[in-house]
Structure 1
């Protein structure tokens, strides 16, 4: 009977649902985490198909994790067919109906946040595009963050965002991508624009990660998980593990991962989006991620979690939760014509479905009207021209400010100039606003004229606030960055077109306008009112045709090998950049025009955005920054300081789009370029400044351009050699032949388009490489059945790397050239000949990885100055160097070397320290070299034992000991899980010696007092042996961690190799856990424990294990207790009290308290005493770049103050 009633009830509710459709204007179906099948079927998808009308009023939104567990694998892997099956089921939900279906990405679609996540999400998108009809789409596209706005109807919009992009810590689209919004700040600006424009509509905000949740990702665990921890994995496995079972829930709740709401990245996303949405009550948040169904109301908003599309998990139901279920199901939103929003949750069990909860949650018919701004003036709206300065922010300084920040172009910014007033309704016949745009610092509007042509209205002045980290906003740092904009000439874009025309480079023709406070701008009136802007043609091509972005061009080249780049035109455009000192030429600063060649397309470059042309500063700040950190900020000088550094921002672009040109072509193009930039052309160009600016800039611009033109050939050829050192050549997704031949001592590479008739009909690429210029050549076949062939007579010193790519490739490598070959071991590749070739085959698709970005410069910093201090030597000064070099697939570098020295000015003491890291140097292991010479070192020593006496009447200087040593270790290191775990092992060396004169009137002057043989103390000792290290580092912030763990263990065995040296075997281990016990890391617990043991008898004093202020026992003097065994534990609680909003030094300010306990053991002493210390203090983290702390520690024998700056400077007194 009960079953009959339930069936009848569901039938009646379904009948009511169908009957009510006439009053329903839209139905939204929400299915999350549907990436898994059950016995080959998808119960939730099937339930929706059977019970929800899928018509033109219905929209289905998949809320991410559309595939488990690591997204869609490469189609070359055997797991591909099984992995894509759940996606097939979801795609087919609508059949041939008119319902719209949208997929939103989740973390599992991004390979569960893994290193190949970006490639995975692109594969998912490609597959959906391949199989789906026009009503099935994935948004946002291309791994971009969004937001993407989709109109459901006149009353409802759907906004989709990729929340995984926000918290993804591996490769993802950024500033050089083709994404319309490339940074978090741009995403938020666009989201605010969408919501503001649709303030009277219902806004459905869809993304994968929930902003409220009472499931595992929200840190909620029931008593069941603490007592029966295995039931999460095995449903009915009730094996009790009290206490032990709490380990995982507590760890998960406190630590979390980036996929948990408590994680700082996740919290930042929540706070940023909610700040943007605040004040707009008609927004509903829709998400998945948690394998639950939840309806939460909090802070005036509705949060829907529908994430049990194929999996389930536990869920709590506190006060703010109106509904919660841990069963599979989905949710719907029904929006009526009278603007009521009704949510319904359905639970699906096998073939059955029931309505579990329904409620009206919102009525958006009454939206608060925005109060009109009656105080705004429309002073210039109907004037033809206005005389005004480009900005009043960059006024002239005097004295130190002028020297430090520079005079720059302050006069130009402040000069009153006559501008035409921009009348948006009349200019060019009138414009229609398409959308708000803008980069990190500028604001812009995309416009369309009456003919459909697109234009951009862009602000001349910039606001760097959104380009800065939040901790620097509203500070002196922001003011300095804002002032640095004065180093840009606001009117330089007017000069460039004449120069560009002379050398045949397409150029924007900007027109300057004053934008009044015009109501015709609508929602953008306040943003652009009373500003100076430029109006630019979005497609300044030679024929006025539409341009394409750099990423789209790269994809076109991959798809069809009949398409090519006009590389000679690229070089001309780049030479123009070098001439005008425009450093900001990354890939997004280029558009591409198209010419039809009959066979394919020839793409030519169209430079855009000339904001940084003539950039120049004579201030000390930018001079320092330009020579140390940001070396591309060289400025528009009479000469080019370093052509390679000037082009740093364009390093990837240049290597991709100028790899065909050899030395002779490069030279010829450069010669022609400089010949066409005549003095008359330069004079004409400099005359394009506004009349008011010509007296300020024209003459100097002419002199500088002439000077730079005269030296451009020499500098350009220097840059040619720099680029030619390592050259990458790529194929396409079609079949190619890569053929290498001799060419009069050079290595000639020809790439042909293969056909059924011949392998070498059409030449795609040809260049001869001179070994004097080129040291390494990298060939990427990419996709297709490619062939790589080296003629037998080829002999070259150039190193060759061949990366075959997907497809069955053929290799006939017969020449005398050192070759590394990379390809999939799972493919049926053909190896005809492999002379001097090292095969590096792998089953992992990552062996084929190719990226057009990521080029890095080798760096040498010399001199690198060092500063130190200790109580006896006083001031220590030194100099050294830092060297970083990069290599093929060696991350984060191929080698890093550091040499530092310190010299005591007063005593002549010195220290030398060397560190060398050579990644993948031997059998894919890293080589790590550490060496140190100290003559002498200064330490404390109070004798051996846990209860040694500290006679304060003798003063601390009595207990200071000095000795000399040389140490070194040569380790092979293996890194796991990125750099989270490192294991190192190798030989070690140590040499000790001492001088009596260094220890006069100190404890070692009478070594017998502390039980040490005086003859032994002053004898040379030498040791050789080995060392093993285990290093775990998994923390969220190196400077000031709030989550994670570090665990360092070391085992050392040294053999004494002279008669005064005894063998040493020692092991130490130290673990620190950082646990944030409140949101956003306001309160952090730091728990540390460790110890060590010397297995050898009678260790030397300099080998002993110690406890003190510098090692785990604050409140006692450094190295206060020494012995052969030690154990210690520390507990520290840090609490952020407030965020200092100081203009000069903003940052987090907090308090901390600690308790330390520890003990030393030696064989000859029986002591049950544990030493303890406690204390507290303050910390300050200015700009989030360095930590400053001051603490006081109390113990039974001392009270010590400790002052610390970062990790380098530590002073106890």
Structure 2
């Protein structure tokens, strides 16, 4: 019934025009002249998100109260906020947020970005001057304007690396950032240290030798066996994301710190960034509820976990490429450890510390209660997350020569191991990867040899086993499949070019080679190439 009458209404709304003056002109409710240079002022993050009863019924209450609540924030001064002052750096290229890198006197860089967003450039041009723009702009109120400031003490307690953002108001006559200053006049902004680039390591990440984005980390990971990823740390951070309801954790939301290990190895450890979507509240209006059914990633934060698949949709690529080796027991053990760390007192202190006092009085108890309920249910969420990740698992080698061994031990266990064929003399153990797969959990294991002359060996006779999909990659590859799985459907498939491969007798293997090189495609950095 709701769908029947609401969809025509949506179409009627989209025929209208976009509001010319949507955003508040100044964050101060009464923007009188600032004769002196005050340390703080009373501001609102977004008075323009206030709606009447009909608007709240159709679009949802979201976090409108927090956006419109007057709070006291410090005033940003480019000359004094950071010792030695800040100067303008590179202008950010985000589609919704006004952002810029600013640099301190010591060479360290910071991100300066508006808390409010404008999704104008994310829409097709044909919709930018219709009522659709109003609807999309209004949806910004589903994010909590001060949610990011609650996260640092929670991440600290959870054992997850984090930044320490702070909220400021930029006065209308601020000139310390040159021509870029005008972009921020009258706005509430977030200032946080940037954990990117070697210049930002000193004093922040002892022992690290580099800081890079996900694409650079993955490029190194797939180039050489000398690079590994700290999966356990990434899992811990991802479970924290689920707990916070942070659904926007794609590969661009991570920085990776490189730490040298024994025998010339490098281990990459994750650092989450950009907590814009924590405590997201969306499906509390007729139209927003309809949108949430069409766009599953828009999951609302509340006492229960709405949809693990929805919360993790934006992170599917980075999850698939990093979470490849850990088993269900590790997921559950990590969840229980987080339960222990995130006590009631830790939660209460973080919410009270992160929210402005006036906002805390309005919704602090509700947020605390929801965090406590979600913490208590975290092992169940972790188990659901594991099941989702275990359905199809990516096991990739590197551009070096490797040997993939698949042992179909019995009807409940298939072991996949990856060895370096020509390990360095410094590494007596050539084992790179090992995991036990269960057909009740895993339907397909994808083996990617990438570059190099790789070998694939399969053995064991069973009645049940996951599908094994072998992608040999460029160069000459060798396949020996001595395994057998009961039934008419063969459970091993080999994708490669028709030439330059050595495929021995393999009764269980289905040859999917072709004359083209399409099977060699492997998305190393999330670009889809």
* TM superposition score normalised by structure 1: 0.38
Q: Which residue of 1 aligns with 2:97?
A: 442
Q: Deviations over 1:154-191 (max 9, x none)?
A: xxxxxxxxxxxxxxxxxxxxxxxxxxxxxxxxxxxxxx
CA distance in 2, matches of 1:381, 1:619: 44
CA distance in 1, matches of 2:244, 2:409: 37
**1:831 counterpart = 2:499:** no
CA contact (8 A) 1:444 1:456 kept: yes
CA distance in 2, matches of 1:653, 1:720: 15
Q: State the match for 2:22 in structure 1.
A: none
Secondary structure at 2:484's aligned position in 1? coil
Residue equivalent to 1:197: none
Q: Which among 431, 451, 456 is matched to residue 86 of structure 2?
A: 431
Mark the CA change 1:756 to 1:402 in structure 2 (over 3 Å): closer, same or farther.
closer
**Worse overlay, 766-775 or 675-684:** 675-684
Who is 2:457 aligned against?
789
Aligned residues: 478
When residues 439 and 854 of structure 1 are mapped into structure 2, their CA distance, relative to the original with a 3 A threshold, is closer
- How far off its partner does 1:840 sit? 2.1
Listed one character per residue, the Cα deviations across residues 285-343 of structure 1 (whole Å, up to 9, x for unaligned) are xxxxxxxxxxxxxxxxxxxxxxxxxxxxxxxxxxxxxxxxxxxxxxxxxxxxxxxxxxx
Shift of 1:692: 2.1
Matched, 1:692 2:347: no
State the match for 2:67 in structure 1. 413
Q: Structure 1 residues 640, 582: CA separation in 2 closer, same or farther (over 3 Å shift)?
A: same
Q: Measured at CA, do residues 854 and 537 of structure 1 come closer, stay the same or move farther in structure 2, by a change above 3 Å?
A: closer
Instruction: Name stretches of at least 5 consecutive residues in structure 2 with no aligned partner.
Output: 1-30, 486-490
User: Would the aligned equivalents of 1:505 and 1:569 in 2 still touch at CA under 8 Å?
Assistant: yes
**Greater CA deviation, 635-644 or 760-769?**
760-769
Select which of 700, 703, 710 maps to 2:369.
703
| Greater strand content | 1
- CA drift at 1:380: 6.9
Q: Is the 8 A contact 1:747 1:794 kept in 2?
A: no
Does the 8 Å CA contact 1:594/1:604 hold for their aligned counterparts? yes
For 2:224 and 2:245, locate their aligned partners in 1 and report how far apart those are by CA, in whole Å: 35
Matches within 5 A, 1:57-76: none
SS of 1:457's equivalent?
Answer: strand
Matched, 1:812 2:480: yes
Which residue does the alignment assign to 2:395? Answer: 729
Change (3 A) 1:742 1:807: same
Query: Are the aligned partners of 2:438 and 2:465 in contact in 1 as well (CA < 8 Å)?
Result: no
Which residue number in structure 1 is paired with residue 515 of structure 2? 843
Q: Does 1:575 align with 2:224?
A: no
Specify which structure has the higher proportion of helix: 2
CA displacement, residues 135-168 of structure 1 (integer Å, 9 cap, x when unaligned): xxxxxxxxxxxxxxxxxxxxxxxxxxxxxxxxxx
Rounded Cα–Cα distance in structure 1 between residues aligned with 2:429 and 2:66? 58
Query: What are the residue-to-residue correspondences of 1:338-487 with 2, within 5 Å?
Result: 379=34, 382-395=37-50, 397-428=51-82, 429-487=84-142
Inter-partner Cα distance in structure 2 for 1:774 and 1:603: 27
Give 1:835 deviation, angstroms.
Answer: 2.9
| Residue aligned with 2:160, SS | coil
Q: Name the SS of the counterpart of 1:447 in structure 2.
A: strand
CA contact under 8 A between 2:473 and 2:520: conserved in structure 1? Answer: yes
User: Is 1:747–1:796's contact at 8 Å kept on the other side of the alignment?
Assistant: no
Q: 1:760-786: per-residue Cα shift (whole Å, max 9, x none)? A: 932211110001001111100000111
Distance 1:389 1:785, change over 3 A: same
Determine helix, strand or coil for the equivalent of 1:797.
coil
The verdict on how the C-alpha distance between 1:771 and 1:534 changes in structure 2, with shifts beyond 3 A counting, is same
Alpha-carbon shift at residue 672 of structure 1 (Å) = 1.4
Please name the residue that 2:194 is paired with: 538
Do the aligned partners of 1:420 and 1:512 also contact (CA within 8 Å) in 2?
yes
Q: Distance in 1 between the 2:527 and 2:112 partners?
A: 33
The aligned runs of 1:501-516 (5 Å cut-off) are 501-516=156-171
Aligned to 2:334: 669
Q: CA deviation at 1:432?
A: 2.0
| Rounded Cα–Cα distance in structure 2 between residues aligned with 1:771 and 1:520 | 61
Give the Å deviation of 1:757. Answer: 8.7
Q: TM-score, normalised by structure 2?
A: 0.86
Task: State the alpha-carbon separation in 2 of the partners of residues 756 and 458 from structure 1.
Answer: 46
1:497 touches 1:507 (CA, 8 Å); kept in 2?
Answer: yes
Looking at structure 2, the residues matched to 487 and 507 of structure 1 have their Cα atoms a distance apart, in angstroms, of: 23
User: Which one has a bigger Cα radius of gyration?
Assistant: 1
Distance in 2 (CA, whole Å) between partners of 1:533 and 1:757 is 50
What pairs up with 1:524-923 in 2 under 5 angstroms?
524-539=180-195, 543=205, 546-598=210-262, 599-617=264-282, 618-627=284-293, 629-688=294-353, 689-743=355-409, 745-755=412-422, 761-793=429-461, 796-817=464-485, 818-827=491-500, 829-851=501-523
Q: Which runs of 5+ in 1 are unaligned?
A: 1-375, 857-1213
CA drift of 1:577 comes to 0.9
Q: Secondary structure at the match of 1:702?
A: helix
Distance in 2 between the 1:756 and 1:420 partners?
56
1:450 deviates by 1.0
Task: Find the counterpart in structure 1 of residue 8 from structure 2.
Answer: none
**Take 1:381 and 1:826, find their aligned partners in 2: how far apart are those partners?**
77
- Give the SS at the match of 2:414: strand
Q: Distance in 1 between matches of 2:127 and 2:511?
A: 50
Residue 178 (structure 2) pairs with residue 522 (structure 1)? yes
1:344-391 CA-to-partner distances (Å, cap 9, x unmatched) read: xxxxxxxxxxxxxxxxxxxxxxxxxxxxxxxx9973783221111112
8 Å CA contact retained: 2:60, 2:285: yes
Deviation per CA, 1:961-1000, whole angstroms, max 9, x where unpaired? xxxxxxxxxxxxxxxxxxxxxxxxxxxxxxxxxxxxxxxx
Q: Distance in 2 between matches of 1:674 and 1:596?
A: 31
Q: For 1:743 and 1:509, how far apart are their aligned partners in 2?
A: 49
Q: How does 1:113-262 map to 2 (within 5 A)?
A: none
Q: For residues 687 and 826 of structure 1, what CA distance do their matches in structure 2 show?
A: 65
2:73 and 2:168 in contact (8 A); partners too: yes
Compared with structure 1, are the counterparts of its residues 591 and 757 closer, same or farther at alpha carbon in structure 2 (3 Å cutoff)? closer
Answer yes or no: is the 8 Å Cα contact 1:456–1:536 preserved in 2.
Answer: yes
Instruction: Tell me, in whole angstroms, the C-alpha distance in 1 between the residues paired with 2:155 and 2:390.
Output: 26
2: distance between equivalents of 1:661 and 1:760?
Answer: 23
| Shift in Å, 1:854 | 8.4
What is the CA-CA distance between 1:520 and the residue it aligns to?
Answer: 2.3
SS of 2:512's equivalent? Answer: strand
Q: Is the 8 A contact 1:652 1:852 kept in 2?
A: no
Q: CA deviation at 1:399?
A: 2.5
Aligned-partner SS, 2:67? helix
* Whole-angstrom CA distance in 2 between matches of 1:756 and 1:530: 59
Q: Is contact 1:752–1:760 with CA below 8 Å preserved after alignment?
A: no
CA distance in 2, matches of 1:380, 1:841: 75
Counterparts of 2:154 and 2:112, CA distance in 1 = 23
Question: Tell me, what secondary structure is at the counterpart of 1:732?
Answer: coil
